[in-house]
Structure 1
Amino acid sequence: MEKIKILLADDQELILESLSIILSMEEDFEIVGLAKNGEEAIKGCEQFQPDIVLMDINMPVMDGVAATALIKERLPVTKVIILTSYQEVEYVLTALSHGAEGYLLKAIHPKELAAGIRVVHAGGTLITQEMATKMIKSMNQTSAPKSNVYGLSSREIEVLHKLASGMRNQDIAEALFLSVGTVKNYISTIYSKLNVSGRREATRKARDSGIMDQ
């Protein structure tokens, strides 16, 4: 039986050793190399020609996303699965845009990880349902932003957010590095554009129109 050759990249030695032991128990897996940063991962790929790389994101010298991009450029046949603790959508999108075939969390059960490696090796793309849901939600929000029907500038929206949070004029001025007089002018303009006379009404109208989501 031809084994799936795997290279592990993580800056935490305990995780490297644990993954190596766990995955070596699978009859069809062979751990061919260990790397503690992105540069070592690239060198390991060039030396051992692995089928799969399990790649952490946050590593010294070179992070996992940058290493993924270079590995896919130099060795397009090698498949990369990001295995990390980070659940932020931007990390997922960046990793996938750089050629990663999978994105999994370190909390995954070993059997599910092994199954995922086989899926990617067979030509599939792998991402958890939870992360896929987050990505879809994020893309929908990006592609369909609510319009600013009252013509507020980005600075005015920033001041409006501070108002809505209950901050006093003096606090807003300090937070945005403005004078109190400038803040008062912004607030006056905001009230005029929204056609309101007070903070509470401005906040309610801005939320109803979607401005507070910007």
Structure 2
Amino acid sequence: MIRVVLADDEAMIRAGIAAILGSDDRIEVVAQAVDGREAVDEVLRTRPDVVLLDIQMPELDGLAAAREIRRLRPETSVVMLTTFNEETYVEQALALGASGFLLKSGDPFELLAGVRAVADGAAFLSPKIAKRVIEQLTGRATSREQVKLLTPKETEVLALLGSGMSNADIAARLFIVEGTVKAHVSTILSRLGVKNRVQAAIVAYEAGLVESLA
């Protein structure tokens, strides 16, 4: 069972997201919060696998809450709930170590897939968010040059990582052991000069390794 804390100051948004999550019998919303401070408190109290944080909340905004949660309970994966006009916040959340980014107005399937992915140790970006973030970052040519530093197998692993797969999923797809995938991921992060899986996933999108960004 994937335990989730949901934080958003809008009651209707919380209700809608909770209903979508509740449709998957593998996911349980263990607590809801109306501001960032309450979100941190609920994470410490319930010790969930994933916390969904709205970026703009009273008392303590989503970014500040993410920073506190990553410091106090790094075992909990952080997923940011965003809107189209918050690209700069996404970049800041990347630096804080958020594992996923989802649009509030996105497809319910993306919400479920994203929560499952980050709970399994993967990174997940809504394709529309990835597209907008890429427009604010370095161009495709630069990313393609970075990817040239990788071996063919590492490039294949990066593409699967960018599509939201966990190490276990990648291992199963490539018929290799999970330890080998971990070694590949570590090398990929080092060669690309990125800090985490989400940043690596963005490079994969930029380089054209992941399709369907429309």
TM-score bracket relative to the smaller structure? 0.5 to 0.7
Q: Report the more deviating stretch, 67-76 or 128-137.
A: 128-137
The question of 1:77 aligning with 2:62 is answered no
Is 1:87–1:105's contact at 8 Å kept on the other side of the alignment?
A: no
Tell me the matched-pair count: 140
Instruction: Deviation per CA, 1:162-203: give whole Å up to 9, x if none.
Output: xxxxxxxxxxxxxxxxxxxxxxxxxxxxxxxxxxxxxxxxxx
Distance 1:122 1:87, change over 3 A: farther
Is 2:103–2:129's contact at 8 Å kept on the other side of the alignment?
A: no
- Following superposition of structure 1 onto structure 2, how do residues 153-168 of structure 1 map, counting pairs within 5 Å? none
TM-score norm. by structure 2 comes to 0.62
Work out which of the residue numbers 102, 109, 116 in structure 2 matches 1:118. 116
What is residue 205 of structure 2 aligned with on the other side? none
The question of 1:14 aligning with 2:12 is answered yes
Is 2:20–2:112's contact at 8 Å kept on the other side of the alignment?
A: no
User: Which consecutive segments of 4 or more residues in structure 1 shift more than 4 A?
Assistant: none
* TM superposition shift of 1:137: 3.2
Q: Whose radius of gyration is greater, 1 or 2? A: 1
* TM superposition shift of 1:109: 1.4
Instruction: Deviation per CA, 1:71-127: give whole Å up to 9, x if none.
Output: 010000000110122443211110111121111111111122101111111111111
Give distance in 2, aligned partners of 1:129 and 1:111.
12
Give distance in 1, aligned partners of 2:103 and 2:126.
8
Identity of aligned residues (%): 38
Work out which of the residue numbers 8, 24, 32 in structure 2 matches 1:34. 32
Give distance in 2, aligned partners of 1:50 and 1:131.
25
Please give the root-mean-square deviation of Cα atoms over the aligned residues, in Å.
Answer: 1.6
Give distance in 1, aligned partners of 2:135 and 2:9.
32
Give distance in 2, aligned partners of 1:87 and 1:128.
14
Instruction: Deviation per CA, 1:36-59: give whole Å up to 9, x if none.
Output: 000000000000001011110111
Q: Answer 1 or 2: higher relative contact order, Cα 8 Å, separation at least 6.
A: 2
Give distance in 1, aligned partners of 2:90 and 2:129.
8
Distance 1:133 1:108, change over 3 A: closer
**Secondary structure at 1:140's aligned position in 2?**
coil
TM-score norm. by structure 1 comes to 0.62
Q: Report the more deviating stretch, 36-45 or 81-90.
A: 81-90
Distance 1:73 1:65, change over 3 A: same
* TM superposition shift of 1:138: 2.1
* TM superposition shift of 1:22: 2.0
